[in-house]
Structure 1
Protein backbone atom coordinates (compact mmCIF):
# COMPACT_ATOMS: atom_id res chain seq x y z
CA UNK A 1 0.00 0.00 0.00
CA UNK A 2 1.39 3.40 -1.00
CA UNK A 3 1.74 6.11 1.64
CA UNK A 4 2.40 8.75 -1.06
CA UNK A 5 -0.41 9.07 -3.60
CA UNK A 6 0.45 11.91 -5.96
CA UNK A 7 0.57 15.70 -5.93
CA UNK A 8 -0.62 17.51 -2.81
CA UNK A 9 0.28 20.97 -4.05
CA UNK A 10 2.80 22.85 -6.17
CA UNK A 11 4.16 26.20 -5.10
CA UNK A 12 5.23 29.31 -7.01
CA UNK A 13 7.28 31.63 -4.81
CA UNK A 14 7.48 35.40 -5.19
CA UNK A 15 8.07 38.66 -3.41
CA UNK A 16 5.39 40.17 -5.66
CA UNK A 17 2.26 38.33 -4.59
CA UNK A 18 0.02 41.02 -6.10
CA UNK A 19 1.56 40.50 -9.53
CA UNK A 20 1.43 36.72 -9.25
CA UNK A 21 -2.25 36.89 -8.30
CA UNK A 22 -3.04 39.12 -11.30
CA UNK A 23 -1.29 36.76 -13.70
CA UNK A 24 -3.06 33.60 -12.55
CA UNK A 25 -6.42 35.32 -12.41
CA UNK A 26 -5.86 36.40 -16.02
CA UNK A 27 -5.21 32.75 -16.94
CA UNK A 28 -8.72 31.92 -15.74
CA UNK A 29 -8.00 30.48 -12.30
CA UNK A 30 -10.28 31.19 -9.36
CA UNK A 31 -8.12 32.00 -6.33
CA UNK A 32 -8.92 31.52 -2.67
CA UNK A 33 -8.63 34.62 -0.46
CA UNK A 34 -5.21 35.63 0.78
CA UNK A 35 -4.22 33.85 4.00
CA UNK A 36 -1.20 34.35 6.31
CA UNK A 37 0.75 31.32 7.51
CA UNK A 38 1.41 30.09 11.02
CA UNK A 39 4.47 27.84 10.88
CA UNK A 40 6.29 25.45 13.19
CA UNK A 41 10.04 25.30 12.80
CA UNK A 42 10.70 21.99 14.58
CA UNK A 43 8.74 18.81 15.29
CA UNK A 44 6.34 19.44 18.18
CA UNK A 45 6.89 23.20 18.06
CA UNK A 46 3.79 25.41 18.12
CA UNK A 47 3.22 27.36 14.90
CA UNK A 48 4.00 31.10 14.94
CA UNK A 49 3.06 33.87 12.46
CA UNK A 50 5.47 33.66 9.54
CA UNK A 51 6.62 35.91 6.72
CA UNK A 52 4.46 34.32 4.03
CA UNK A 53 0.89 34.38 2.79
CA UNK A 54 -0.77 32.54 -0.04
CA UNK A 55 -3.64 32.31 -2.45
CA UNK A 56 -4.49 29.00 -4.05
CA UNK A 57 -6.04 27.62 -7.23
CA UNK A 58 -7.91 24.66 -5.76
CA UNK A 59 -9.09 21.55 -7.60
CA UNK A 60 -10.60 19.38 -4.88
CA UNK A 61 -7.57 17.11 -4.59
CA UNK A 62 -4.43 19.05 -5.49
CA UNK A 63 -3.79 22.76 -5.79
CA UNK A 64 -1.40 25.44 -7.04
CA UNK A 65 -0.12 27.62 -4.23
CA UNK A 66 0.79 31.22 -5.02
CA UNK A 67 3.20 31.83 -2.16
CA UNK A 68 4.34 35.33 -1.35
CA UNK A 69 6.77 36.82 1.13
CA UNK A 70 4.63 39.60 2.55
CA UNK A 71 6.49 40.62 5.72
CA UNK A 72 10.28 40.59 5.53
CA UNK A 73 10.57 41.27 9.28
CA UNK A 74 8.44 38.27 10.37
CA UNK A 75 9.88 34.89 11.42
CA UNK A 76 10.94 32.58 8.61
CA UNK A 77 11.16 29.08 10.17
CA UNK A 78 10.86 27.35 6.78
CA UNK A 79 13.66 29.49 5.22
CA UNK A 80 11.46 30.84 2.45
CA UNK A 81 13.36 34.12 2.13
CA UNK A 82 16.63 32.28 1.47
CA UNK A 83 14.88 30.29 -1.24
CA UNK A 84 13.59 33.48 -2.86
CA UNK A 85 17.06 34.99 -2.67
CA UNK A 86 18.29 32.14 -4.89
CA UNK A 87 15.52 32.68 -7.43
CA UNK A 88 11.76 33.12 -7.50
CA UNK A 89 9.39 30.91 -9.47
CA UNK A 90 8.31 27.27 -9.36
CA UNK A 91 10.10 26.20 -6.21
CA UNK A 92 7.86 23.81 -4.23
CA UNK A 93 6.79 20.22 -4.87
CA UNK A 94 4.68 18.65 -2.15
CA UNK A 95 3.49 15.07 -2.50
CA UNK A 96 0.30 13.84 -0.88
CA UNK A 97 -0.01 11.47 2.05
CA UNK A 98 -2.68 10.43 4.52
CA UNK A 99 -0.08 9.64 7.18
CA UNK A 100 2.86 12.04 7.47
CA UNK A 101 4.40 10.14 10.35
CA UNK A 102 4.41 6.82 8.48
CA UNK A 103 5.80 8.47 5.34
CA UNK A 104 8.52 10.14 7.38
CA UNK A 105 9.51 6.85 9.02
CA UNK A 106 9.73 5.12 5.65
CA UNK A 107 11.73 7.90 4.00
CA UNK A 108 14.22 8.18 6.86
CA UNK A 109 14.48 4.39 6.85
CA UNK A 110 15.39 4.60 3.16
CA UNK A 111 18.26 6.96 4.02
CA UNK A 112 16.63 10.33 3.28
CA UNK A 113 17.24 13.17 5.73
CA UNK A 114 13.98 14.90 6.69
CA UNK A 115 12.73 17.66 8.94
CA UNK A 116 10.51 15.28 10.86
CA UNK A 117 6.81 16.04 10.98
CA UNK A 118 6.10 19.81 11.16
CA UNK A 119 2.82 21.54 11.94
CA UNK A 120 1.21 24.23 9.78
CA UNK A 121 -1.87 26.37 10.42
CA UNK A 122 -3.58 29.28 8.70
CA UNK A 123 -6.88 30.98 9.40
CA UNK A 124 -9.43 31.22 6.61
CA UNK A 125 -13.05 32.16 6.06
CA UNK A 126 -15.58 29.46 5.29
CA UNK A 127 -19.30 29.53 4.60
CA UNK A 128 -19.71 28.63 8.28
CA UNK A 129 -17.40 31.40 9.51
CA UNK A 130 -13.70 31.61 10.41
CA UNK A 131 -11.87 28.29 10.63
CA UNK A 132 -8.24 27.19 11.07
CA UNK A 133 -6.66 25.05 8.36
CA UNK A 134 -4.34 22.47 9.88
CA UNK A 135 -1.80 20.34 8.06
CA UNK A 136 1.36 18.31 8.63
CA UNK A 137 4.44 18.48 6.46
CA UNK A 138 7.71 16.61 6.10
CA UNK A 139 10.50 18.48 4.33
CA UNK A 140 13.25 16.58 2.57
CA UNK A 141 16.67 18.02 3.40
CA UNK A 142 17.14 20.72 0.72
CA UNK A 143 20.81 19.81 0.38
CA UNK A 144 19.66 16.56 -1.24
CA UNK A 145 17.02 18.10 -3.53
CA UNK A 146 18.79 20.54 -5.87
CA UNK A 147 15.69 20.67 -8.08
CA UNK A 148 13.60 22.51 -5.48
CA UNK A 149 11.93 22.39 -2.08
CA UNK A 150 10.41 18.92 -1.82
CA UNK A 151 8.11 17.65 0.88
CA UNK A 152 5.27 15.39 1.86
CA UNK A 153 2.03 17.00 3.08
CA UNK A 154 -1.05 15.76 4.89
CA UNK A 155 -4.35 17.57 5.13
CA UNK A 156 -5.94 17.49 8.59
CA UNK A 157 -8.80 19.80 7.55
CA UNK A 158 -9.10 19.21 3.79
CA UNK A 159 -12.69 20.49 3.74
CA UNK A 160 -11.55 23.95 4.84
CA UNK A 161 -9.01 24.14 2.01
CA UNK A 162 -10.95 22.68 -0.93
CA UNK A 163 -14.16 24.63 -0.42
CA UNK A 164 -16.72 24.07 -3.21
CA UNK A 165 -17.06 27.80 -3.86
CA UNK A 166 -13.43 27.98 -5.06
CA UNK A 167 -13.35 24.83 -7.22
CA UNK A 168 -14.94 26.30 -10.35
CA UNK A 169 -12.46 27.97 -12.72
CA UNK A 170 -13.29 30.10 -15.79
CA UNK A 171 -10.62 28.18 -17.75
CA UNK A 172 -12.22 24.82 -16.86
CA UNK A 173 -9.26 23.60 -14.78
CA UNK A 174 -9.99 20.54 -12.66
CA UNK A 175 -6.66 19.14 -11.49
CA UNK A 176 -2.91 18.66 -11.74
CA UNK A 177 -1.68 15.55 -13.51
CA UNK A 178 2.09 15.95 -13.78
CA UNK A 179 5.24 17.81 -12.81
CA UNK A 180 8.18 18.16 -15.17
CA UNK A 181 11.61 18.79 -13.71
CA UNK A 182 14.97 19.31 -15.36
CA UNK A 183 17.96 17.55 -13.83
CA UNK A 184 21.60 18.42 -14.32
CA UNK A 185 23.12 15.57 -16.32
CA UNK A 186 25.39 14.60 -13.44
CA UNK A 187 22.45 14.65 -10.97
CA UNK A 188 19.87 12.93 -13.18
CA UNK A 189 20.33 9.36 -11.96
CA UNK A 190 20.29 10.35 -8.29
CA UNK A 191 17.17 12.52 -8.69
CA UNK A 192 15.31 9.85 -10.67
CA UNK A 193 16.23 7.12 -8.19
CA UNK A 194 15.24 9.24 -5.20
CA UNK A 195 11.73 9.81 -6.56
CA UNK A 196 11.44 6.16 -7.54
CA UNK A 197 12.15 5.26 -3.89
CA UNK A 198 9.78 7.90 -2.56
CA UNK A 199 6.93 6.78 -4.81
CA UNK A 200 7.76 3.07 -4.66
CA UNK A 201 7.59 2.82 -8.43
CA UNK A 202 9.94 1.92 -11.28
CA UNK A 203 10.65 4.68 -13.81
CA UNK A 204 9.43 4.34 -17.38
CA UNK A 205 10.44 6.32 -20.46
CA UNK A 206 8.71 8.61 -22.93
CA UNK A 207 11.30 9.83 -25.39
CA UNK A 208 14.02 11.63 -23.40
CA UNK A 209 11.79 11.88 -20.30
CA UNK A 210 11.86 9.50 -17.33
CA UNK A 211 8.30 9.00 -16.06
CA UNK A 212 7.35 7.92 -12.55
CA UNK A 213 3.69 7.18 -11.91
CA UNK A 214 2.04 7.74 -8.57
CA UNK A 215 -1.55 6.78 -7.87
CA UNK A 216 -3.05 10.11 -9.00
CA UNK A 217 -0.29 11.92 -10.89
CA UNK A 218 3.14 11.47 -12.43
CA UNK A 219 6.59 12.97 -12.14
CA UNK A 220 8.60 13.57 -15.29
CA UNK A 221 12.37 14.16 -15.29
CA UNK A 222 14.53 15.19 -18.23
CA UNK A 223 18.28 15.69 -18.45
CA UNK A 224 19.37 19.30 -18.85
CA UNK A 225 21.10 18.37 -22.11
CA UNK A 226 17.73 17.18 -23.46
CA UNK A 227 15.60 19.98 -22.01
CA UNK A 228 15.50 22.01 -25.22
CA UNK A 229 13.76 19.07 -26.92
CA UNK A 230 10.94 19.15 -24.35
CA UNK A 231 10.92 22.84 -23.37
CA UNK A 232 12.23 24.75 -26.38
CA UNK A 233 13.39 28.26 -25.58
CA UNK A 234 12.43 28.07 -21.92
CA UNK A 235 14.55 29.73 -19.20
CA UNK A 236 16.82 27.60 -17.03
CA UNK A 237 17.04 29.26 -13.57
CA UNK A 238 19.39 26.62 -12.11
CA UNK A 239 21.29 23.48 -13.12
CA UNK A 240 18.38 21.37 -11.76
CA UNK A 241 14.91 22.88 -11.30
CA UNK A 242 11.17 22.39 -11.29
CA UNK A 243 10.19 23.48 -14.80
CA UNK A 244 6.52 22.96 -15.54
CA UNK A 245 3.22 21.51 -14.37
CA UNK A 246 0.33 20.00 -16.32
CA UNK A 247 -3.14 21.40 -15.64
CA UNK A 248 -6.07 19.20 -16.64
CA UNK A 249 -8.99 21.14 -18.17
CA UNK A 250 -12.46 20.24 -19.39
CA UNK A 251 -12.03 21.79 -22.84
CA UNK A 252 -8.61 22.70 -24.25
CA UNK A 253 -9.95 25.16 -26.82
CA UNK A 254 -11.99 27.00 -24.21
CA UNK A 255 -9.03 27.12 -21.80
CA UNK A 256 -6.76 28.45 -24.53
CA UNK A 257 -9.18 31.22 -25.46
CA UNK A 258 -9.48 32.17 -21.80
CA UNK A 259 -5.72 32.44 -21.37
CA UNK A 260 -5.18 34.33 -24.62
CA UNK A 261 -8.10 36.69 -23.95
CA UNK A 262 -6.34 37.52 -20.70
CA UNK A 263 -3.39 38.77 -22.75
CA UNK A 264 -0.97 35.81 -22.52
CA UNK A 265 0.45 34.08 -25.62
CA UNK A 266 0.33 30.28 -25.93
CA UNK A 267 1.78 27.62 -28.20
CA UNK A 268 0.39 24.27 -29.29
CA UNK A 269 1.88 21.19 -27.63
CA UNK A 270 0.43 17.82 -28.64
CA UNK A 271 -3.32 17.91 -28.04
CA UNK A 272 -3.01 20.84 -25.63
CA UNK A 273 -1.11 24.08 -25.28
CA UNK A 274 1.68 25.64 -23.25
CA UNK A 275 2.24 28.92 -21.43
CA UNK A 276 5.90 29.84 -21.04
CA UNK A 277 7.44 30.26 -17.63
CA UNK A 278 8.37 33.75 -18.81
CA UNK A 279 4.68 34.68 -18.71
CA UNK A 280 3.72 32.59 -15.65
CA UNK A 281 6.16 33.82 -12.98
CA UNK A 282 8.66 31.02 -13.48
CA UNK A 283 6.35 28.00 -13.87
CA UNK A 284 5.73 26.57 -17.33
CA UNK A 285 2.07 25.56 -17.69
CA UNK A 286 0.92 22.71 -19.89
CA UNK A 287 -2.85 22.57 -20.38
CA UNK A 288 -4.30 19.21 -21.43
CA UNK A 289 -7.65 17.43 -21.49
CA UNK A 290 -6.36 14.50 -19.41
Structure 2
Protein backbone atom coordinates (compact mmCIF):
# COMPACT_ATOMS: atom_id res chain seq x y z
CA UNK A 1 0.00 0.00 0.00
CA UNK A 2 2.90 2.36 0.63
CA UNK A 3 2.10 5.69 2.24
CA UNK A 4 -1.15 6.69 0.56
CA UNK A 5 -3.14 6.97 3.82
CA UNK A 6 -2.46 9.70 6.41
CA UNK A 7 -5.04 9.00 9.11
CA UNK A 8 -8.60 10.25 9.29
CA UNK A 9 -9.91 13.06 7.08
CA UNK A 10 -13.26 13.24 8.90
CA UNK A 11 -16.07 11.29 10.50
CA UNK A 12 -19.74 12.06 9.92
CA UNK A 13 -22.05 12.10 12.95
CA UNK A 14 -25.62 11.87 11.66
CA UNK A 15 -28.19 13.43 13.97
CA UNK A 16 -31.91 14.11 14.06
CA UNK A 17 -31.71 17.66 15.42
CA UNK A 18 -28.79 19.84 14.35
CA UNK A 19 -29.55 22.50 16.95
CA UNK A 20 -29.44 19.89 19.71
CA UNK A 21 -26.22 18.41 18.32
CA UNK A 22 -24.50 21.80 18.06
CA UNK A 23 -25.42 22.63 21.64
CA UNK A 24 -24.18 19.25 22.86
CA UNK A 25 -20.84 19.65 21.10
CA UNK A 26 -20.41 23.08 22.64
CA UNK A 27 -21.03 21.56 26.07
CA UNK A 28 -18.35 19.01 25.19
CA UNK A 29 -16.01 21.97 24.73
CA UNK A 30 -15.81 22.16 20.94
CA UNK A 31 -16.06 25.31 18.87
CA UNK A 32 -19.02 24.73 16.55
CA UNK A 33 -19.78 27.15 13.68
CA UNK A 34 -23.36 27.90 12.72
CA UNK A 35 -24.80 25.16 10.49
CA UNK A 36 -25.09 25.72 6.75
CA UNK A 37 -27.65 24.44 4.30
CA UNK A 38 -27.86 24.60 0.49
CA UNK A 39 -30.59 26.60 -1.23
CA UNK A 40 -31.41 26.29 -4.90
CA UNK A 41 -34.45 26.45 -7.18
CA UNK A 42 -36.15 23.09 -7.62
CA UNK A 43 -37.12 24.08 -11.17
CA UNK A 44 -35.41 26.55 -13.55
CA UNK A 45 -36.48 30.08 -12.69
CA UNK A 46 -38.17 29.00 -9.45
CA UNK A 47 -37.50 30.36 -5.95
CA UNK A 48 -34.44 29.14 -4.09
CA UNK A 49 -35.37 26.73 -1.29
CA UNK A 50 -33.52 24.73 1.38
CA UNK A 51 -32.90 21.26 0.07
CA UNK A 52 -31.00 18.08 0.98
CA UNK A 53 -28.97 18.14 4.18
CA UNK A 54 -27.69 20.75 6.62
CA UNK A 55 -24.34 20.38 8.36
CA UNK A 56 -21.58 21.99 10.35
CA UNK A 57 -17.98 21.03 11.08
CA UNK A 58 -15.82 20.86 14.19
CA UNK A 59 -12.45 21.75 12.68
CA UNK A 60 -8.95 20.69 13.69
CA UNK A 61 -5.73 21.59 11.86
CA UNK A 62 -5.71 18.40 9.81
CA UNK A 63 -9.22 16.94 9.93
CA UNK A 64 -12.73 17.49 11.27
CA UNK A 65 -15.95 16.06 12.67
CA UNK A 66 -19.06 16.65 10.57
CA UNK A 67 -22.50 17.01 12.13
CA UNK A 68 -25.20 16.39 9.53
CA UNK A 69 -29.00 16.23 9.46
CA UNK A 70 -31.56 15.79 6.71
CA UNK A 71 -33.66 18.84 5.86
CA UNK A 72 -37.13 17.40 6.45
CA UNK A 73 -39.09 20.66 6.69
CA UNK A 74 -37.64 23.53 4.62
CA UNK A 75 -39.77 25.98 6.63
CA UNK A 76 -38.15 25.01 9.93
CA UNK A 77 -34.39 25.37 9.63
CA UNK A 78 -32.10 25.61 12.68
CA UNK A 79 -32.31 29.14 14.07
CA UNK A 80 -28.65 30.05 13.50
CA UNK A 81 -28.24 28.16 10.23
CA UNK A 82 -26.80 29.98 7.20
CA UNK A 83 -28.12 29.48 3.67
CA UNK A 84 -25.52 28.70 1.01
CA UNK A 85 -26.93 29.51 -2.47
CA UNK A 86 -25.86 27.00 -5.10
CA UNK A 87 -25.39 28.34 -8.62
CA UNK A 88 -25.99 25.84 -11.39
CA UNK A 89 -26.89 26.18 -15.10
CA UNK A 90 -30.50 25.27 -15.86
CA UNK A 91 -29.52 22.23 -17.92
CA UNK A 92 -27.52 20.83 -14.99
CA UNK A 93 -30.18 21.44 -12.34
CA UNK A 94 -31.99 18.08 -12.71
CA UNK A 95 -28.75 16.15 -12.29
CA UNK A 96 -27.74 18.14 -9.21
CA UNK A 97 -31.21 17.72 -7.71
CA UNK A 98 -31.02 13.96 -8.24
CA UNK A 99 -27.57 13.80 -6.59
CA UNK A 100 -28.74 15.83 -3.58
CA UNK A 101 -31.85 13.65 -3.22
CA UNK A 102 -29.69 10.53 -3.29
CA UNK A 103 -27.40 11.94 -0.60
CA UNK A 104 -30.34 12.90 1.61
CA UNK A 105 -31.91 9.46 1.16
CA UNK A 106 -28.62 7.80 2.13
CA UNK A 107 -28.31 9.96 5.26
CA UNK A 108 -31.94 9.20 6.18
CA UNK A 109 -31.33 5.46 5.81
CA UNK A 110 -28.37 5.66 8.18
CA UNK A 111 -30.45 7.54 10.71
CA UNK A 112 -33.10 4.85 10.47
CA UNK A 113 -30.48 2.37 11.73
CA UNK A 114 -29.37 4.59 14.62
CA UNK A 115 -28.28 8.11 15.43
CA UNK A 116 -24.49 8.23 15.47
CA UNK A 117 -21.37 8.00 13.29
CA UNK A 118 -21.95 6.36 9.90
CA UNK A 119 -19.33 8.09 7.74
CA UNK A 120 -15.57 7.50 7.97
CA UNK A 121 -13.27 9.08 5.40
CA UNK A 122 -9.52 8.49 5.42
CA UNK A 123 -7.05 11.18 4.38
CA UNK A 124 -4.72 10.69 1.44
CA UNK A 125 -2.10 12.81 -0.33
CA UNK A 126 -2.86 11.09 -3.67
CA UNK A 127 -6.46 10.11 -4.35
CA UNK A 128 -5.65 8.88 -7.87
CA UNK A 129 -3.10 6.46 -6.47
CA UNK A 130 -5.68 5.16 -3.98
CA UNK A 131 -8.22 4.71 -6.76
CA UNK A 132 -5.73 2.74 -8.85
CA UNK A 133 -4.74 0.58 -5.87
CA UNK A 134 -8.34 -0.25 -5.00
CA UNK A 135 -9.18 -1.04 -8.62
CA UNK A 136 -6.18 -3.37 -8.88
CA UNK A 137 -7.33 -5.13 -5.70
CA UNK A 138 -10.83 -5.62 -7.07
CA UNK A 139 -12.45 -3.16 -4.64
CA UNK A 140 -15.49 -1.42 -6.08
CA UNK A 141 -15.68 2.35 -5.86
CA UNK A 142 -17.39 5.24 -7.60
CA UNK A 143 -14.23 6.83 -8.98
CA UNK A 144 -12.68 10.15 -8.03
CA UNK A 145 -15.08 13.08 -7.74
CA UNK A 146 -14.18 16.76 -7.43
CA UNK A 147 -16.48 19.11 -5.53
CA UNK A 148 -16.31 22.44 -3.73
CA UNK A 149 -17.92 22.99 -0.35
CA UNK A 150 -18.31 26.09 1.82
CA UNK A 151 -15.89 26.51 4.71
CA UNK A 152 -15.83 29.23 7.35
CA UNK A 153 -12.43 30.96 7.63
CA UNK A 154 -11.21 34.14 9.31
CA UNK A 155 -11.76 35.90 5.97
CA UNK A 156 -15.35 34.68 5.68
CA UNK A 157 -16.93 31.80 3.81
CA UNK A 158 -14.70 30.30 1.13
CA UNK A 159 -15.20 27.35 -1.19
CA UNK A 160 -12.84 24.48 -0.36
CA UNK A 161 -12.00 22.10 -3.23
CA UNK A 162 -12.25 18.43 -2.30
CA UNK A 163 -11.40 15.32 -4.32
CA UNK A 164 -12.82 12.12 -2.90
CA UNK A 165 -13.97 8.58 -3.63
CA UNK A 166 -16.33 6.24 -1.82
CA UNK A 167 -16.02 2.47 -1.64
CA UNK A 168 -18.93 0.42 -2.94
CA UNK A 169 -19.58 -3.19 -2.04
CA UNK A 170 -21.62 -5.56 -4.25
CA UNK A 171 -25.38 -5.79 -3.62
CA UNK A 172 -25.46 -2.42 -1.83
CA UNK A 173 -26.32 1.07 -3.13
CA UNK A 174 -23.43 3.07 -4.66
CA UNK A 175 -21.05 4.46 -2.06
CA UNK A 176 -22.15 1.99 0.61
CA UNK A 177 -20.50 -0.79 2.55
CA UNK A 178 -22.16 -2.78 5.37
CA UNK A 179 -20.71 -0.41 7.98
CA UNK A 180 -21.93 2.81 6.32
CA UNK A 181 -19.94 5.15 4.08
CA UNK A 182 -16.18 4.58 3.89
CA UNK A 183 -13.90 6.43 1.53
CA UNK A 184 -10.90 8.65 1.00
CA UNK A 185 -10.42 12.39 0.51
CA UNK A 186 -7.36 14.24 -0.67
CA UNK A 187 -5.47 16.53 1.67
CA UNK A 188 -7.06 19.87 2.45
CA UNK A 189 -5.32 22.88 0.78
CA UNK A 190 -2.56 24.50 2.84
CA UNK A 191 -4.33 27.85 3.20
CA UNK A 192 -7.35 26.21 4.81
CA UNK A 193 -5.09 24.19 7.13
CA UNK A 194 -3.32 27.36 8.23
CA UNK A 195 -6.66 28.97 9.02
CA UNK A 196 -7.74 25.93 11.00
CA UNK A 197 -4.60 26.24 13.13
CA UNK A 198 -6.23 29.34 14.60
CA UNK A 199 -9.43 27.50 15.57
CA UNK A 200 -9.24 26.87 19.28
CA UNK A 201 -11.50 24.61 21.32
CA UNK A 202 -12.23 25.25 25.01
CA UNK A 203 -11.64 21.55 25.72
CA UNK A 204 -8.14 21.76 24.23
CA UNK A 205 -8.89 19.33 21.39
CA UNK A 206 -6.17 19.19 18.73
CA UNK A 207 -7.23 16.48 16.29
CA UNK A 208 -9.37 13.51 15.34
CA UNK A 209 -7.18 10.46 15.98
CA UNK A 210 -9.29 7.29 15.92
CA UNK A 211 -12.65 5.78 15.01
CA UNK A 212 -13.87 2.50 16.50
CA UNK A 213 -16.02 -0.02 14.62
CA UNK A 214 -17.72 -2.90 16.46
CA UNK A 215 -18.67 -6.10 14.61
CA UNK A 216 -20.08 -9.50 15.51
CA UNK A 217 -17.30 -11.94 16.42
CA UNK A 218 -17.84 -14.27 13.43
CA UNK A 219 -17.61 -11.31 11.03
CA UNK A 220 -14.23 -10.12 12.28
CA UNK A 221 -11.90 -12.22 10.05
CA UNK A 222 -13.63 -11.17 6.83
CA UNK A 223 -13.73 -7.55 7.92
CA UNK A 224 -10.01 -7.63 8.77
CA UNK A 225 -9.35 -8.91 5.26
CA UNK A 226 -11.54 -6.24 3.66
CA UNK A 227 -10.21 -3.35 5.73
CA UNK A 228 -6.67 -4.57 5.13
CA UNK A 229 -7.35 -4.13 1.43
CA UNK A 230 -8.73 -0.64 2.01
CA UNK A 231 -6.16 0.69 4.47
CA UNK A 232 -3.22 -1.73 4.65
CA UNK A 233 -2.83 -4.70 6.95
CA UNK A 234 -3.48 -4.03 10.62
CA UNK A 235 -2.75 -5.90 13.82
CA UNK A 236 -5.11 -8.90 14.03
CA UNK A 237 -6.97 -10.23 17.06
CA UNK A 238 -10.14 -9.43 18.96
CA UNK A 239 -9.11 -5.78 18.51
CA UNK A 240 -7.68 -5.05 15.06
CA UNK A 241 -5.98 -1.69 14.52
CA UNK A 242 -5.45 -0.11 11.12
CA UNK A 243 -3.14 2.59 12.38
CA UNK A 244 -2.44 4.37 9.10
CA UNK A 245 -6.14 5.12 8.71
CA UNK A 246 -6.84 5.68 12.41
CA UNK A 247 -9.47 2.91 12.39
CA UNK A 248 -9.89 0.26 15.09
CA UNK A 249 -12.17 -2.76 14.70
CA UNK A 250 -13.30 -4.61 17.81
CA UNK A 251 -15.25 -7.85 18.16
CA UNK A 252 -18.48 -7.42 20.11
CA UNK A 253 -17.23 -9.76 22.84
CA UNK A 254 -14.20 -7.51 23.42
CA UNK A 255 -15.95 -4.13 23.30
CA UNK A 256 -16.26 -3.84 27.09
CA UNK A 257 -12.47 -4.00 27.37
CA UNK A 258 -12.25 -0.80 25.34
CA UNK A 259 -15.46 1.02 26.28
CA UNK A 260 -16.92 -0.31 29.54
CA UNK A 261 -20.71 -0.28 29.51
CA UNK A 262 -21.01 0.37 25.76
CA UNK A 263 -23.78 -1.55 23.97
CA UNK A 264 -24.02 -0.97 20.19
CA UNK A 265 -27.49 -0.27 18.80
CA UNK A 266 -26.84 -2.78 16.03
CA UNK A 267 -23.92 -4.52 14.33
CA UNK A 268 -21.82 -3.56 12.53
CA UNK A 269 -21.64 -0.05 13.94
CA UNK A 270 -19.13 2.73 14.45
CA UNK A 271 -19.40 3.06 18.21
CA UNK A 272 -16.86 5.77 19.10
CA UNK A 273 -14.26 8.21 17.93
CA UNK A 274 -11.31 9.72 19.79
CA UNK A 275 -9.84 13.21 19.79
CA UNK A 276 -6.47 14.25 21.18
CA UNK A 277 -6.32 17.05 23.77
CA UNK A 278 -3.52 19.17 25.14
CA UNK A 279 -4.33 18.61 28.82
CA UNK A 280 -6.62 15.70 29.67
CA UNK A 281 -7.04 16.86 33.27
CA UNK A 282 -8.26 20.26 32.11
CA UNK A 283 -10.61 18.62 29.60
CA UNK A 284 -12.07 16.40 32.30
CA UNK A 285 -12.60 19.44 34.52
CA UNK A 286 -14.45 21.29 31.73
CA UNK A 287 -16.74 18.32 31.08
CA UNK A 288 -17.49 18.02 34.78
CA UNK A 289 -18.25 21.75 35.04
CA UNK A 290 -20.62 21.43 32.05
CA UNK A 291 -22.46 18.51 33.72
CA UNK A 292 -21.38 16.09 31.00
CA UNK A 293 -21.30 12.47 32.24
CA UNK A 294 -17.91 10.81 31.77
CA UNK A 295 -16.30 7.47 32.47
CA UNK A 296 -12.98 5.78 31.71
CA UNK A 297 -11.92 3.56 28.84
CA UNK A 298 -10.05 0.33 29.39
CA UNK A 299 -6.83 2.33 28.91
CA UNK A 300 -7.86 4.96 31.44
CA UNK A 301 -8.86 7.63 28.92
CA UNK A 302 -11.88 9.87 29.49
CA UNK A 303 -14.97 9.23 27.40
CA UNK A 304 -18.53 10.47 27.17
CA UNK A 305 -20.92 7.50 26.80
CA UNK A 306 -22.93 7.16 23.61
CA UNK A 307 -26.27 7.66 25.36
CA UNK A 308 -25.07 11.11 26.42
CA UNK A 309 -23.54 12.00 23.04
CA UNK A 310 -26.27 11.26 20.48
CA UNK A 311 -25.36 7.67 19.75
CA UNK A 312 -21.57 7.67 19.61
CA UNK A 313 -19.05 7.60 22.46
CA UNK A 314 -16.58 10.50 22.40
CA UNK A 315 -13.12 9.62 23.74
CA UNK A 316 -10.65 12.28 24.91
CA UNK A 317 -7.00 11.22 24.74
CA UNK A 318 -3.91 12.98 26.02
CA UNK A 319 -1.85 13.94 22.95
CA UNK A 320 1.70 12.63 22.70
Q: TM-score of the superposition, structure 1-length normalised? A: 0.86
> Aligned residue for 1:132?
159
For structure 2, the residue ranges without an aligned partner over 5 or more in a row are 40-49, 75-96
| Matching residue of 1:67 | 68
**Separation in 2, partners of 1:282, 1:174:** 22
Q: Retained in 1: the 8 A contact 2:127–2:185?
A: yes
Q: Distance in 2 between matches of 1:166 and 1:92?
A: 26
CA root-mean-square deviation: 2.4
Tell me, yes or no, if the aligned pair for 1:93 and 1:151 is still in contact at 8 Å: yes
Q: Which has the higher strand share?
A: 1
**Number of the residue aligned with 1:42:** none
Shift of 1:156: 5.3
User: Where does residue 275 of structure 1 map in the other structure?
Assistant: 304
Q: Separation in 1 of the partners of 2:161 and 2:208? A: 22
Q: Give the CA deviation at 1:228.
A: 2.9
Is residue 180 from structure 1 mapped to residue 208 from structure 2 by the alignment? no
Q: Could you list the runs of 5+ residues in structure 1 that have no partner in the other structure?
A: 39-48
- The reply on whether 1:118 has 2:145 as its aligned counterpart is yes
Residue 158 (structure 1) shift: 5.5
Moved more, 100-109 or 18-27: 100-109
1:130-209 to structure 2, matched below 5 A, reads 130-141=157-168, 143=172, 145-155=177-187, 157=189, 159-160=191-192, 163-164=195-196, 167-204=199-236, 208-209=238-239
How many residues align structurally?
276
Contact 2:60 2:197 in 1 (8 A): no
1:252 equivalent in alignment to 2:280:
yes
SS in 2 for 1:24: helix
Cα deviation, 1:204-248, whole Å, max 9, x if unaligned, reads 55xx3112221xx53211111222333232231212111111111
CA contact (8 A) 1:51 1:76 kept: yes
| SS of aligned partner of 2:111 | helix
- Corresponding residue SS for 1:66: strand
- The DSSP-based 3-state class of the residue aligned with 2:264 is coil
> What is the alpha-carbon distance in structure 1 between the residues aligned to residue 30 and residue 23 of structure 2?
10
Q: Deviations over 1:112-148 (max 9, x none)?
A: 1112122333234433344212212211116473222
Is the 8 Å Cα contact of residues 114 and 311 (structure 2) preserved in structure 1?
A: no
Q: Distance in 2 between matches of 1:231 and 1:165?
A: 30
TM-score (norm 2): 0.78
**Aligned counterparts of 1:156 and 1:77: Cα–Cα separation in 2:** 25
SS for the counterpart of 1:186 is helix
2:263 aligns with 235
Q: Does 1:103 align with 2:154?
A: no
For residues 8 and 221 of structure 1, what CA distance do their matches in structure 2 show?
Answer: 18
Larger radius of gyration: 2
Aligned to 2:102: 77
CA apart distance, 1:167: 2.2
Change (3 A) 1:15 1:121: farther
